[in-house]
Structure 1
Amino acid sequence: MGCSQDANYFRGSLYCQLIIFFIWLLTFQDVTAQELHADVRKVSSLVELAKEPASGESGLFDPIEISPAVLPKFPYPTESLPPMYPTFPARYEPVLTGKCPVNFSHPDISNILDKTASDCTGPLAALVGNVICCPQFSSLIHIFQGFFSMKSDKLVLPNAVADHCYSDIISILASRGANSTIPTLCSIKSSNFTGGSCPVKDDSTFEKTVNTSKLLEACSTVDPLKECCRPVCQPAIMDAALQISGRQMMINNNENMAGEVNHTDYLNDCKGVVYSYISKKLSSEAANTAFRILSACKVNKVCPLTFNEPTEVINACQNVAAPSPSCCSSLNTYIAGIQKQMLITNKQAIICATLFGSMLRGGGVMTNIYQLCDVDLKDFSIQAYGQQGCLLRSLPGDVIFDNSSGFSFTCDLSDNIPAPWPTSASPITSMSLCGPEMSLPALPTSQTFKNNSCNCGGVGLLVLIFSFFIFGTLFY
């Protein structure tokens, strides 16, 4: 009985709340209309101000003339350009072999060629080779494979045309301003087009052997923030490569071939075939984005710098416990040599600093001389204009061309982040920068919301009244 009375009371209260709400809503509409009317008057006055001045009035709207003298020019054109000064490589018409049956002017391949030429532009190719140029050139090779075989059942290029197509690609890139030493810089050959020793090189066999739906689902959209630590596409590619390379391994084992079989060659060649299949099924832009993210995951796991034996640094810093001019001078001299090598990412800088620190600890330097000598992460990369280090972003980036500033790239860090000192002298070649998985609290179950019949009516009414309050706040 008490429940019935409470329900009637709440029902009557609900009617009252609804009446009050509708009255308030009508009032709100009147206020809104007045405010909009005021805005219209403001706009009309702005329209009057925006009208062109009558003839004979002050020429405030005359065209602005910009003198060519304001454009940046290097004052000594006969001398070599300073590091990282804007450059504008000349473009020319390439001389092709005429033996590669591909329309290089097709947008799908021409746009990727343009991007690769920009990322591997002549003066910057060696500096950004590890992080930008070579990953983009590798992506171009995979995409070209898929583009070449788009109208056929094949996934690789025939040996007869592989050399010619590769030569044409290098010629086109060079004609668009790219460095002609890309093949040597990136260690990619024309044989990468042919599939090498991989036994599966056609669509039909590939699709019979591999779960292609799973592969394309994993690699059609690659998450740049998750793929490196919680990979989805990488294991799918590896699994597909293992499946098609396993066919050849089984054949070799059955034939009892003499000598040791190098299964790694089969696997690497078959990974190229998998990349070709993905390129064939995705758009060139989507494939390029996916391949660049996968390359970023790979390059950010290792330090690309070369460290000579730091004997002088060890001798000068072995027994220091406080800032020492001789120790810091020796350390700065050594790091100055490192700074001439290449641009690296922020994650690579962490690995490089840890690697070099472990070398010093292995030589007997136990004190954190990074802290004593104010060594930052950016000190391990090339210094822009000799003043400040530049660390590239760990996510895929490109060299940007601008008509006024030439070719440039985006630096990720401009502040002073101390270089990490290792906790042990154990040598490292790579390290993971992925944090542990975060555990989220369990979601509430339906048991949490179970109540008796009387209380449910009251709770429902309170929620409804609270909703009215929220609506009122939002409308105001």
Structure 2
Amino acid sequence: MTCVKIVSLLKGSFCHLLLVIALWLCSYQNVVALPLLPKPGQIPSTSELPSSPDSATFQPIEISPTMIPHYPFHGEPLPPMYPSFPKTYDPVLTGRCPVNFSVISSITAKTASDCTQSLSTVVGNVICCPQFNSLLHVFQGFYSNHSDTLVLQNAVADDCFKDIISILASRGANSSLSSMCSVKSSNLTGGSCPVKDISTFEKAVNTSKLLESCSTVDPLKECCRPFCQPAISEAALQISGIKMTLSDNKNIVEVPSEIDTLNDCKGVVYSWIARKLRFEDANTAFRLLSSCKVNKACPLDFKQPSEVINACRNLAAPSPSCCSSLNAYITGIQKQMLITNRQAIICAAVFGYMLQKAGVMTNVYELCDVDLKDFSLQAYGQEGCLLRSLPADLVYDNSTGFSFTCDLNDNIAAPWPSSSSVTSLSLCAPEMSLPALPTSQTLGSSGCHLDGVHFLLSAILIFVSTLLY
């Protein structure tokens, strides 16, 4: 019997539209604790999700201390869901990386926590890999403080990269971060970028403009009305030596090798920014920039939904076989990873376009009660989780293990695509054709409130393992 009762799941037509708008416009919510107590071996089905009343108000949820899970078998080894870290860390270092890693220990500790062995595979796209990349940028800038260059030589980069991986692994992080996040030691070398020394960089780039643009990254504006990202791209272009051609009012790079050079030069630009900012400020800025990129695409792998197409094509009324097939397919999708609320909207559109292209024209999301949360990792029942679009970290607690913040906006019904192309989808308010936001008086009379609430879900490895395998 659960000790938590959710007042409502918000699916009224007016509240639905209003919450979709709110989901696009804001990500800051209140946080409360809701430990997951999974039923071993139980895999959720979207058909089990209850229907929702037309409107509701979220109220704070109080959790009894008795709900906090404790390992009951004293004297036996702790399972991975109750992680126990050594009091001292003894990473195996090469001894050839000329850096005092203790100076950036706050960033390495955050990265180790975000990339913990038990959860890195399901939070890699949203939490772990963005933080790991940020650590490398910060490290590269920190290294340049003691040299006249913004990059590392190949041999030193290889040694330092090995030391970074070893330090993270000694603190409980996944030792396979390099392959999981597609990062190599060469990312610290500047690659094919022709400008790598500080003097040449500062002569070629308007550094005052770059620093002004990226010293403080606005978390609410940057992704839709970017300020720092264009400054980084401009600086990278200036030091790349690449001539851009103008076509259809867009700058286009003609040769793939030039794209690689530009990306390498962006790494050099990141290094210069990290050199100028405090480590924590640089890390925050880089994480915000990565969130803009992460939330532009659906990271899920959609296999050809042949059974869904056959069961749902030419559908005019609710069909048990269609919904059963759809639920079975989405249950497989749920096992892949945790995604953000914005990613879920894109994933719903991508999958919807796949179905439409194959002849499924009926809104099967509505007929089969598919929510946004159904595209992300699930617990039993209705405890699906979508992460916030803004950067978030895993949090470790001695009693409850690792936790992460979920967004209750995931209870919105998945939007069925109405346009002919996924490229037309935009999550930025100025570009969207949506009605004006209701006034406070309208909100009051409708009985629909936007008081957000988040669940702090205890990340229990048994639950994750059950879903993954």
The normalised TM-score by structure 2 is 0.72
Determine the C-alpha separation between the residues in 1 that align with 2:123 and 2:410. Answer: 21
Determine the C-alpha separation between the residues in 2 that align with 1:362 and 1:174. Answer: 45
Aligned to 1:73: 71
Determine the C-alpha separation between the residues in 2 that align with 1:134 and 1:431. Answer: 25
Determine the C-alpha separation between the residues in 2 that align with 1:379 and 1:178. Answer: 28
Aligned to 1:432: 426
Q: Do the aligned partners of residues 261 and 136 (structure 1) sit closer, same or farther apart at CA in structure 2, a change above 3 Å counting?
A: closer
Structure 2 counterpart of 1:234, one-letter code = Q
Determine the C-alpha separation between the residues in 2 that align with 1:118 and 1:77. Answer: 26
Indicate which of 75, 92, 97 corresponds to 1:95: 92
Q: Report the count of equivalent residues.
A: 356
Aligned to 2:108: 113
Determine the C-alpha separation between the residues in 1 that align with 2:75 and 2:347. Answer: 37
Indicate which of 244, 255, 259 corresponds to 1:264: 259
Structure 1 counterpart of 2:70, one-letter code = P
Alignment of 1:215-226 (within 5 A): 215-226=210-221
Could you say what the CA RMSD is over the residues aligned between the two structures, in angstroms?
2.5
Residue deviations 1:330-389 (CA, integer Å, cap 9, x gap): 000000000000000000000000100010011111110100000000000000356421
Alignment of 1:237-256 (within 5 A): 237-246=232-241
Residue deviations 1:365-414 (CA, integer Å, cap 9, x gap): 11101000000000000003564210000001000111111111000126
1:159 shift after superposition: 1.4
**Is contact 2:341-2:410 (8 Å) kept?**
no
- Calculate percent identity across the aligned residue pairs: 71
Give SS of 1:411's match. strand
Structure 1 counterpart of 2:177, one-letter code = I
Determine the C-alpha separation between the residues in 2 that align with 1:338 and 1:81. Answer: 27
Q: Do the aligned partners of residues 391 and 325 (structure 1) sit closer, same or farther apart at CA in structure 2, a change above 3 Å counting?
A: same
Give SS of 1:347's match. helix
Give SS of 1:344's match. coil
Q: Is 1:149 aligned to 2:147, yes or no? A: no
Residue deviations 1:138-161 (CA, integer Å, cap 9, x gap): 000000001011022110011121
Structure 2: which 5+ residue stretches go unaligned?
Answer: 1-67, 245-253, 433-469
Q: Is 1:171 aligned to 2:169, yes or no? A: no
1:77 shift after superposition: 9.9
1:425 shift after superposition: 4.9
Aligned to 2:13: none
**Is contact 1:86-1:408 (8 Å) kept?**
no
Q: Do the aligned partners of residues 187 and 430 (structure 1) sit closer, same or farther apart at CA in structure 2, a change above 3 Å counting?
A: farther
Aligned to 2:154: 159
The normalised TM-score by structure 1 is 0.71
Structure 1: which 5+ residue stretches go unaligned?
Answer: 1-69, 250-258, 439-476
Q: Do the aligned partners of residues 334 and 217 (structure 1) sit closer, same or farther apart at CA in structure 2, a change above 3 Å counting?
A: same
**Is contact 2:83-2:401 (8 Å) kept?**
yes
Determine the C-alpha separation between the residues in 2 that align with 1:274 and 1:331. Answer: 46
**Is contact 2:232-2:269 (8 Å) kept?**
yes
Aligned to 2:417: 422
Indicate which of 186, 204, 212 corresponds to 1:209: 204
Give SS of 2:138's match. helix
Indicate which of 347, 358, 383 corresponds to 2:342: 347
Alignment of 1:303-382 (within 5 A): 303-382=298-377
Determine the C-alpha separation between the residues in 2 that align with 1:325 and 1:218. Answer: 54
Structure 1 counterpart of 2:121, one-letter code = A
**Is contact 1:361-1:425 (8 Å) kept?**
no
Determine the C-alpha separation between the residues in 2 that align with 1:146 and 1:413. Answer: 38
Determine the C-alpha separation between the residues in 2 that align with 1:350 and 1:71. Answer: 33
Determine the C-alpha separation between the residues in 2 that align with 1:307 and 1:261. Answer: 27
Q: Do the aligned partners of residues 260 and 247 (structure 1) sit closer, same or farther apart at CA in structure 2, a change above 3 Å counting?
A: closer
